[in-house]
Structure 1
Amino acid sequence: MKIKIALAAGVTVAMVIGLAACGGSKSEESSAGKVYYLNSKPEVVDQFKKLTEAFTKDTGIKVDVITATMADYETTLTSELAKNNAPTTWTMGPSDLAKYKKYLKPLQNTAGYKNLSDAGKASAVQDSDNVYAIPYVQEWYGIIYNKKLIKEYCAKDYAVIKSAQDINSWNVLKAVSENMMDHKDDLGIKGVFTTPSVENSDYYRFTAHMIRPAEFFEYKDNDTTFMPKITWKYLDKYKNLFDLQMKYSPGDAKRDATSMSYEDVTAQFSLGDVPFYPNGVWAYSQIKGNDVADGDLGMLPYYMGIPGEGDYGPGVIMDNQWVVNKKSSPADQKATLKFINWVQTNRAAKRIVSKEMGFAMPATTYGDDAQPDNPLVNQALEYQKKGKKYIRSFELPSLAWQKDFGGALLEYAQGTNDWENVRKVITDEWESTWQANEKASPGSLPAQKKFSE
């Protein structure tokens, strides 16, 4: 069977959606302002087109959208900002504040910020004085698993657990993985974990997501929300999980660490070849319609052996945030703020965002009737119902830091360098990058507050 994979991270896209105001003259368009958005989510290009068409029809304001993927996003944004007709808004993560602060309009007094949930406000990009970006999607990540394969395994007399609910710690995850690999032929699987690829389209899973628990718990130990220097106290725990994936993935993990793409890895899970896939709720759009039924999708936290991790569910991330370009005309800034507020409050917009894009918007305006039909989101939310806390995703220094981290992981995976090199790269570059950020834009470092759960 050929897997049906939607456009995913790492695929280069350059698509412009132009939507002129219906029946409006150029002077009318100019006075009303316009919105020009650089989008980082190619998997929802069609849905964004529908969203912006609805906004234009409702308000008469013109919207242009250009889309680029993570791999090309910084290059595209730099190029677009150098133009006279620069984006009025784009997607910015917390680590990019120093780089783009000179363009950013403070947003703490806008309706878009006031509409956010408490969690959304806590995750909004800010320095000690101002809020500069508004999260528009709340996502969760962890270890996606195939309930059907785990249930079939639990029915075997050699199984070390009775149900998926028994996988509640690193020790149990490790024992189950070893046991399933020993009996993979009987179980009809090719491996236990998807291949831990650090190819360009896929390394983010390890350098932007799986590393977050190690950061979170070190901050927790130090009662802070930011450290310009970090020891990576729990990096060996991260190594536990990375090594487990290397050892129990299909094929030759050493070879496949760089040759397999995001689509290839997703296919391993979507076709039922492995029971575990470390990724986030966004992967549902690529998984659905293949061999794993919606009802068979589950999600585990990133168990890796960090003390206290059993009190937490999957990680929560709000790295996709909207900014407003203060160098745009006042009319364009007003139009852009109107667009953000409209997406948060308009009934049709909420339906498109939640039901068609599959996003969970971190806004108080999104009630129970405006939540995504995404079984992975529902699985992640189950942990909250059980009283579990979420691992918050604090800022990372830069995309360059992630790329160098991925390069060090690849060298380790292929045996050309050791684990201490991984530690050195991410420790030294963490400190030097934050120093460079502060030097380039004084006062741009993340707010350093007491740790709050």
Structure 2
Amino acid sequence: MSTMNMKRILAAGVAAVTMFSLAACGSTAADPNKGHVYFLNSKSEVVDQLQQLAQDYTDQTGVQVDIQTASSGSYEPTLTSELAKSEAPTMFTIAGYDEFAKYQKYLEPLQDTDVYKLLNDEGKTNSHKVGDDAYTLPYAAEWYGIIYNKKIVNEYAKKDYAVIKSDADIKDYDTLKKVVEDMNKHKDDLGIQAAMATPGLDSSPYRFVSHMTRLPLFYEFRDDNTTFTTDLKGTYLKNYKDLFDLEVKNSPTESSMLSSKTYDDITSEFALGDVAFYPNGVWAYTQIKDNNVADEDLGMLPYWMGIDGEDEYGPAGAYDASWAVNKNASDKDKQATLDFIKWMVSSDESKNALSKEMGFSVPFTTFGDDDQPDNPLTKLARSYADEGKKSVTSFPLPSQQWQDDLASALLNYVQGGGQWSDFESAFTNGWKKDWDNNKNVLGMLPESKAFDAQ
């Protein structure tokens, strides 16, 4: 699951970390005169692959590469501690605007480096910037939209009562709404529990407060030709409400019970073939596969809400995981680090490891169609670019508290204890309040640039 969508639970102190000195002690492969790479990694699930790559790079070049991986939930305190040491990381990961703002003083500008120039256009757009300086290298693109079961939808399309002839006819929100409501009306005949998966509002309602909120935000920014403002009008919150209500009214679960369904419960509804539509991201594939939905039966639609111009965009893109280079490292170590990153995104060995073994869709021009993860949802999301459609940009959100307040307002709304206006207030007023607080705490805000200059 995208890291931007999960609430970080930080340990009170620095948790234990695992150190892999990949130029093994006593090895003659490493040449100290060629510089040193020290990578503080935040993804424990890919340690083995990184260890092999680093050892191979040392064997090939003589450059020592060390990797330290923080234990789960302790990355930020570990990074803070390591950066204060004399032998600090020469590269590390940045996830989200809050980390960028907190550690920006350590970051080397990268816009003039060879490796930055290898980023594709969306990769460059999603690099954290201040003025003309770009400080991060996104390395793992993810997308989210409305996943659907082609087999169920096309079986429905064969019915006399169907409002479409095939799934290819679903090209906008109005058609999607008609299909969802008609499928739900005929759910018994279709052998499904409901048309859409439960819009669960349990302890991790990220699909609604981190993902769906990006759409009204994106299109309001488009209208105002900006990439950031602390003052939102909430222009498209009615469109958000339309899609959310569609999910609530056409799911297997009563609205009063939405907080009782876990992420696993909801994913199972789709994976077992009990529902046809499931708004979520490409990471859901790991739990969908090997159940009742064949890979060839998976489809993905954008998060349509009936907003003018949304047909020009595909699924929303999230580029939360990025590499950064420590500006305080020696020139020799900085160059060694940049060379290592360039090798990571250029060599056949590393490209295969990043995409096929680690499952990353890497936004560099060195990665072709054959250098992508074996994830059909990723392939479907990327296919929109072949039609000339850009991804909806996932602009930064102010805080976890903002998301928590939205989740609370949504739950009160569906359970009858609150009004929709409470959600609108949490969205607009809470946005301003939390960004103002961020400015006081972090000392900076995202830059406001022209939307049409992205």
TM value normalised by structure 1: 0.86
In structure 2, what is the equivalent of residue 225 of structure 1? 227
> Structure 1 299/53 Cα, relative in aligned 2: closer, same or farther at 3 Å?
farther
Please state how far the C-alpha of 1:78 moved relative to its aligned partner: 3.1
* Structure 1 residue matching 2:140: 3-state secondary structure: coil
In structure 1, what is the equivalent of residue 158 of structure 2? 155
> Structure 1 113/398 Cα, relative in aligned 2: closer, same or farther at 3 Å?
farther
> Structure 1 92/241 Cα, relative in aligned 2: closer, same or farther at 3 Å?
same
Counting matched residue pairs gives 441
- Tell me which amino acid in the other structure corresponds to 1:170: Y
Indicate yes or no: 2:208 matched with 1:206.
yes
- Tell me which amino acid in the other structure corresponds to 2:216: A
Please state how far the C-alpha of 1:277 moved relative to its aligned partner: 0.9
Report if the CA contact (8 A) 1:15-1:66 is conserved. Answer: no
Give the whole-Å Cα distance in 1 for the aligned partners of 2:287 and 2:47: 14
- Tell me which amino acid in the other structure corresponds to 1:250: P
> Structure 1 390/23 Cα, relative in aligned 2: closer, same or farther at 3 Å?
closer
Report if the CA contact (8 A) 1:19-1:56 is conserved. Answer: no
Please state how far the C-alpha of 1:103 moved relative to its aligned partner: 3.2
In structure 2, what is the equivalent of residue 298 of structure 1? 299
Give the whole-Å Cα distance in 1 for the aligned partners of 2:295 and 2:341: 31
In structure 2, what is the equivalent of residue 118 of structure 1? 121
In structure 2, what is the equivalent of residue 249 of structure 1? 251
Give the whole-Å Cα distance in 2 for the aligned partners of 1:224 and 1:358: 33
Please state how far the C-alpha of 1:293 moved relative to its aligned partner: 0.8
Unaligned runs of 5+ in 1: none
In structure 1, what is the equivalent of residue 168 of structure 2? 165
Please state how far the C-alpha of 1:328 moved relative to its aligned partner: 5.9
Q: Deviations over 1:174-202 (max 9, x none)?
A: 111111111212212112222212333x4
In structure 2, what is the equivalent of residue 383 of structure 1? 384
> Structure 1 450/388 Cα, relative in aligned 2: closer, same or farther at 3 Å?
closer
Indicate yes or no: 2:265 matched with 1:264.
yes
More divergent stretch after superposition (373-382 vs 80-89): 80-89
* Structure 2 residue matching 1:192: 3-state secondary structure: coil
> Structure 1 372/409 Cα, relative in aligned 2: closer, same or farther at 3 Å?
same
CA RMSD of aligned residues (A): 3.2
Give the whole-Å Cα distance in 2 for the aligned partners of 1:270 and 1:55: 40
Indicate yes or no: 2:434 matched with 1:438.
no
Give the whole-Å Cα distance in 2 for the aligned partners of 1:336 and 1:405: 41
Indicate yes or no: 2:94 matched with 1:91.
yes
Report sequence identity in percent: 43
- Tell me which amino acid in the other structure corresponds to 1:384: A
Q: Deviations over 1:246-267 (max 9, x none)?
A: 122223343233x333222222
In structure 2, what is the equivalent of residue 81 of structure 1? 80
In structure 2, what is the equivalent of residue 428 of structure 1? 429
Q: Deviations over 1:102-132 (max 9, x none)?
A: 3333222333322211221121111224222
Give the whole-Å Cα distance in 2 for the aligned partners of 1:96 and 1:434: 15
In structure 2, what is the equivalent of residue 33 of structure 1? 36
Please state how far the C-alpha of 1:333 moved relative to its aligned partner: 4.8
> Structure 1 30/433 Cα, relative in aligned 2: closer, same or farther at 3 Å?
farther
Q: Deviations over 1:5-29 (max 9, x none)?
A: 9x99679998955422344459969
> Structure 1 331/423 Cα, relative in aligned 2: closer, same or farther at 3 Å?
farther
Indicate yes or no: 2:61 matched with 1:61.
no
* Structure 1 residue matching 2:207: 3-state secondary structure: helix
Please state how far the C-alpha of 1:373 moved relative to its aligned partner: 2.4
Give the whole-Å Cα distance in 1 for the aligned partners of 2:6 and 2:156: 32
In structure 1, what is the equivalent of residue 131 of structure 2? 128
* Structure 2 residue matching 1:136: 3-state secondary structure: strand
Give the whole-Å Cα distance in 2 for the aligned partners of 1:247 and 1:51: 49
- Tell me which amino acid in the other structure corresponds to 2:209: T
Please state how far the C-alpha of 1:213 moved relative to its aligned partner: 1.7
* Structure 2 residue matching 1:82: 3-state secondary structure: helix
* Structure 2 residue matching 1:361: 3-state secondary structure: coil
> Structure 1 100/198 Cα, relative in aligned 2: closer, same or farther at 3 Å?
farther
Q: Which of 188, 191, 204 is the aligned partner of 1:188?
A: 191
In structure 1, what is the equivalent of residue 406 of structure 2? 405
Q: Deviations over 1:310-339 (max 9, x none)?
A: 222212221222223445676765554344
Report if the CA contact (8 A) 2:221-2:451 is conserved. Answer: no
Give the whole-Å Cα distance in 2 for the aligned partners of 1:154 and 1:139: 30
Q: Deviations over 1:60-84 (max 9, x none)?
A: 5343343666xx4xx6413541355
> Structure 1 435/236 Cα, relative in aligned 2: closer, same or farther at 3 Å?
same
* Structure 1 residue matching 2:270: 3-state secondary structure: helix
Report if the CA contact (8 A) 1:437-1:445 is conserved. Answer: no
Give the whole-Å Cα distance in 2 for the aligned partners of 1:434 and 1:452: 23
Give the whole-Å Cα distance in 2 for the aligned partners of 1:127 and 1:196: 37
TM value normalised by structure 2: 0.86
Please state how far the C-alpha of 1:414 moved relative to its aligned partner: 3.1
Report if the CA contact (8 A) 2:23-2:66 is conserved. Answer: no
More divergent stretch after superposition (213-222 vs 377-386): 377-386
> Structure 1 241/365 Cα, relative in aligned 2: closer, same or farther at 3 Å?
same
Please state how far the C-alpha of 1:363 moved relative to its aligned partner: 0.8
Please state how far the C-alpha of 1:410 moved relative to its aligned partner: 2.8
> Structure 1 382/62 Cα, relative in aligned 2: closer, same or farther at 3 Å?
closer
Report if the CA contact (8 A) 2:32-2:64 is conserved. Answer: no
- Tell me which amino acid in the other structure corresponds to 1:143: I
Report if the CA contact (8 A) 2:96-2:320 is conserved. Answer: yes
Give the whole-Å Cα distance in 2 for the aligned partners of 1:165 and 1:428: 40
- Tell me which amino acid in the other structure corresponds to 1:286: Q
Unaligned runs of 5+ in 2: none
Give the whole-Å Cα distance in 2 for the aligned partners of 1:104 and 1:68: 23
* Structure 1 residue matching 2:425: 3-state secondary structure: helix
Report if the CA contact (8 A) 1:216-1:392 is conserved. Answer: yes
Give the whole-Å Cα distance in 2 for the aligned partners of 1:131 and 1:277: 36
